[in-house]
Amino acid sequence: MLKKEVVPEYNPKYLWKKKVICPVCAHEFETFNYKSKSQPLKEKESDFHEVYDEFDPIVYDIYVCPSCFFASTVSEFDKLKAREMEALFSDKRSSKFDYRKNRTIEMALESYDLAIHCKNQTEKPNEALLANLYIKKAWLYRGIKENSGELENLSEALHLYEKKYLTASNVAGALSENGLAYLIGELSRRTGDYNKAIKYFSILINSQEAKKEKYIYSLARRQYELIREEKK
């Protein structure tokens, strides 16, 4: 069962209120915006999950319109095309939460569900952008130690990332092609498919291009060796 832990009360050290206009229904509302560089980073895990000391920006990474419940990441909220606005305007969404108020973990999880729903309503959603939503939702479940929720969302992300990789289409966001191959390998490892993990780590270990991305290459080699050691 989901633990209804409450995110620490609004703290101006990390958050500020911002007026936003919904691109779907034109409703103006005030919501939270996080100061991305205001909290110290503790570590970056092997699937690029960033762990913070006090404040986790992932909880606030989705804007949700309190009128029509259109939801999207902070960076993509107002970047809809006309046909996407039309499709989303005709599709009805609902929620019991008021996203203008401070968020609980339960609200944060639903905000990602709403964003995933909205992304799927658009024409040919980008697999990598959709996978990013699933993986961040998985990180939220990890934070409250809900293993089944984490595994389910990691599996959804893995399916989409691999589809993106195998179709050889442009990778969206900060990931390079080698970074995407590594992430597929790491998510395969985390979901228990060690043969697939070894396959993708091997691709990187034997790639001259991957060797140029030293961080990705070193992660792939380390994870490859760990799996081989575990299988002995």
Sign for the pseudo-dihedral over CA of 13, 96, 58, 222:
positive
Q: pTM above 0.95?
A: no
**What percentage of the chain reaches a pLDDT higher than 70?**
91
Burial class (CB in 10 A: 0-12, 13-18, 19+), 52: middle
Cβ contacts of 26 within 8 Å, gap of 6 or more: none
Q: What is the mean pLDDT of the chain?
A: 88
User: Mind listing the pLDDT tens digit for each residue in 162-182?
Assistant: 998 988 655 555 678 999 999
- pLDDT value of position 223: 94
Q: Taking residues 188-203, report their average pLDDT.
A: 95
Answer whether residue 9 shows pLDDT above 90. Answer: no
